[in-house]
A and B are shown apart, each in its own frame.
Chain A
Amino acid sequence: MTLVRTKIGRRAFIRNTGLAGGGLVLGFNWLASCKMTPEQVKSLPKEWFELNGFLKVADNGLVTIMSPNPEIGQNVKTAMPMIIAEELDVAWKDVIVEQAPLNTTIFSRQLAGGSQSIRQGWESLRMAGATARHMLKEAAAQAWQVPFSEITTKEGQLMHEASGKSAGFGEMASAATAIEVPEEVELKETNSFSIIGTDTKNVDGQKIVTGKPLFGLDVQREGMLTAMIVHPPAFGMKYKGMNAESVKSMPGIKDVFHFEVYQEDTQKQWSDEGGIPELVAIVGNSTWECMQAKKALEVEWEEGSKLESTAYHEEALSALLAKAPEQPARKDGDVEAAFKKAAKIVESTYSAPYLAHNTMEPMNFFAHVTPEKAELLGPIQTPEFLEQTLVSRLGMPVEKIDVMMTRMGGGFGRRLYGTFAVEAAVISQKMNAPVKLVYTREDDMTQGTYRPAYKVKYKAGLDENGNLIAWHVRGAGTNDDLIFENRFPAGAVDNYLAEKHSLQTNVTTGAWRAPRSNFIAGAEQAFMDEVAEASGKDPIEFRLELFERAINNPVGEPEKNDYNPERYAGVLKLVKEKSNWGTDTGKSRGVSAYYCHNSYVAQVLDLEEGDGMPKVDKVWCAVDCGIVINPLSAKNQVEGGIVDGIGHATYSAMTFKDGKPEQSNFDRYRLIRNMEAPKEIETFFVDNGIDPTGLGEPSLPPIVGALSNALYKATGRRHYSQPFINERPPLVG
Chain B
Amino acid sequence: MATYTLNINGKKQEVDVDPSTPILWVLRDHLSLVGTKYGCGIAQCGACTIHLDGKATRSCILPVSSIGEQKITTIEGLSENGDHPVQKAWLEVDVPQCGYCQAGQIMTASALLESNPNPSDEEIESAMNGNICRCGTYLRIRKAVKTAAKS
Chain A interface residues toward B at CB < 8 A: 33-35, 72-75, 199, 201-202, 204-206, 208-215, 217-218, 220, 226, 251, 286-289, 291-292, 358-362, 407-412, 440-441, 632-633, 636-637, 639-644, 647, 665-667, 671-675, 677-678, 680-681
A672 and B136 within 8 A (CB): yes
B36 and A211 within 8 A (CB): yes
CA distance A642 to B135 in the complex (A): 10
Most chain-A Cβ atoms within 10 A of its Cβ — which of B81, B99, B102? B99
Give per-residue flags for B25-41: 1 if the beta carbon is below 8 A from chain A beta carbons, else 0: 10011101111111111
A209 and B94 within 8 A (CB): no
Among candidates A214, A632, A639, A675, residue contacting B99 with C-beta atoms closer than 8 Å: A214
A666 and B45 within 8 A (CB): yes
Q: Smallest Cβ distance from A293 to chain B, in angstroms?
A: 12
Among candidates A35, A209, A642, A675, residue contacting B136 with C-beta atoms closer than 8 Å: A642
A360 and B45 within 8 A (CB): yes
Q: Is B133 an interface residue (CB 8 A)?
A: yes
Q: Smallest Cβ distance from B43 to chain A, in angstroms?
A: 9
Interface size class of B (residues with CB under 8 A): 35 or more
CA distance A211 to B51 in the complex (A): 14
Q: Smallest Cβ distance from B120 to chain A, in angstroms?
A: 13
- Chain B residues whose CB sits within 8 angstroms of the CB of A74 once the complex forms: 97
Q: Smallest Cβ distance from B106 to chain A, in angstroms?
A: 6
Chain B interface residues toward A at CB < 8 A: 1, 17-18, 20-22, 25, 28-30, 32-42, 44-45, 47, 74-76, 78, 81-82, 87, 90-91, 94, 96-103, 106, 125-126, 128-142
A673 and B35 within 8 A (CB): no
Among candidates A215, A636, A647, residue contacting B97 with C-beta atoms closer than 8 Å: A636
Q: Smallest Cβ distance from A130 to chain B, in angstroms?
A: 28
CA distance A213 to B22 in the complex (A): 20
CA distance A647 to B128 in the complex (A): 16
Most chain-A Cβ atoms within 10 A of its Cβ — which of B38, B97, B125? B97
CA distance A647 to B135 in the complex (A): 11
CA distance A51 to B141 in the complex (A): 40
B94 and A202 within 8 A (CB): yes
Provided the pairs A74-B97, A201-B94, A287-B29 are in contact, do residues A206 and B39 lie with their beta carbons within 8 angstroms? no
A209 and B97 within 8 A (CB): no
Give 17 new A-B contacts, CB below 8 A, not counting A665-B42, A671-B132: A34-B82, A73-B96, A205-B94, A205-B96, A209-B87, A214-B99, A215-B37, A217-B37, A218-B34, A286-B25, A287-B25, A288-B21, A288-B22, A289-B18, A360-B134, A362-B38, A412-B134
- Chain B residues whose CB sits within 8 angstroms of the CB of A641 once the complex forms: 136
- Chain B residues whose CB sits within 8 angstroms of the CB of A199 once the complex forms: 94
Q: Smallest Cβ distance from A185 to chain B, in angstroms?
A: 32
A251 and B1 within 8 A (CB): yes
A666 and B94 within 8 A (CB): no
A205 and B40 within 8 A (CB): no
B136 and A644 within 8 A (CB): yes
- Chain B residues whose CB sits within 8 angstroms of the CB of A75 once the complex forms: 97
- Chain A residues whose CB sits within 8 angstroms of the CB of B125 once the complex forms: 674-675
Sorted nearest first, the 4 A-B pairs with minimum C-beta distance are: A211-B35, A409-B100, A73-B98, A643-B136
Q: Smallest Cβ distance from A353 to chain B, in angstroms?
A: 18
A220 and B136 within 8 A (CB): no
CA distance A320 to B78 in the complex (A): 57
Most chain-A Cβ atoms within 10 A of its Cβ — which of B22, B32, B138? B138
- Chain B residues whose CB sits within 8 angstroms of the CB of A361 once the complex forms: 37, 39, 98, 100
Q: B29's closest neighbor in chain A, by CB?
A: A286
Q: A213's closest neighbor in chain B, by CB?
A: B34
- Chain B residues whose CB sits within 8 angstroms of the CB of A633 once the complex forms: 94
Most chain-A Cβ atoms within 10 A of its Cβ — which of B40, B81, B141? B40
- Chain A residues whose CB sits within 8 angstroms of the CB of B35 once the complex forms: 210-213
Q: Smallest Cβ distance from B105 to chain A, in angstroms?
A: 9
Provided the pairs A202-B96, A210-B35, A675-B125 are in contact, do residues A640 and B132 lie with their beta carbons within 8 angstroms? no
A643 and B29 within 8 A (CB): no
Q: Smallest Cβ distance from A644 to chain B, in angstroms?
A: 5
A206 and B91 within 8 A (CB): yes
- Chain B residues whose CB sits within 8 angstroms of the CB of A680 once the complex forms: 139
Q: A636's closest neighbor in chain B, by CB?
A: B97
Among candidates B36, B101, B106, residue contacting A360 with C-beta atoms closer than 8 Å: B101
Provided the pairs A440-B41, A671-B134 are in contact, do residues A209 and B139 lie with their beta carbons within 8 angstroms? no
CA distance A199 to B91 in the complex (A): 13
A409 and B129 within 8 A (CB): no
- Chain A residues whose CB sits within 8 angstroms of the CB of B42 once the complex forms: 441, 665-667
